[in-house]
Amino acid sequence: MRSTQALVKYFDTILQRDIEIVCDKKVIRKGTFILYTIKDYVITVIIKTPTSNKSYDIFYPFDVSHEQNSIMLDYSIEKLFNKNTSTTVKIPSTSNKFLNKILKIKYA
């Protein structure tokens, strides 16, 4: 399944559920998953917290997968290349704090 289709399918199943967005065992956002939009290369997630609604922008991942009660957004460089290719990868400086990491969206 293409990653866009998979992403839409997974996000549609967690609407109105309590979620935690976690990276490196650190909780980034927590609340009820209200709405999401995918535009260009940015996914905007709106989460309802006890005090207000919060918007959070996430860059489009290189790969999407699903495990038990969590959606994995993979930003590892290896996902961009064929494993048979002997290419040296030079990582450019970037403002993406998720580069070479996996972002998990855990839900109840």
Predicted confidence at residue 95, as pLDDT, reads 62
3-state SS assignment for residue 17: coil
Residue 76: pLDDT band by 50, 70, 90 thresholds?
A: confident
pTM: 0.82
Domain that holds residue 33: 3-107
pLDDT at 87: 61
CA dist 50 and 43 (Å) reads: 22
- The CATH number for 44's domain is 2.30.30
User: Could you read off the pLDDT of 41-60 as tens digits, one per residue?
Assistant: 899 999 999 999 999 999 99
User: Comparing 90 with 64, which gets the higher pLDDT?
Assistant: 64
Percentage of the chain lying above the pLDDT 90 cut: 61
- Residue 21 CB neighbour total at 10 angstroms: 21
Name the domain count of the chain: 1
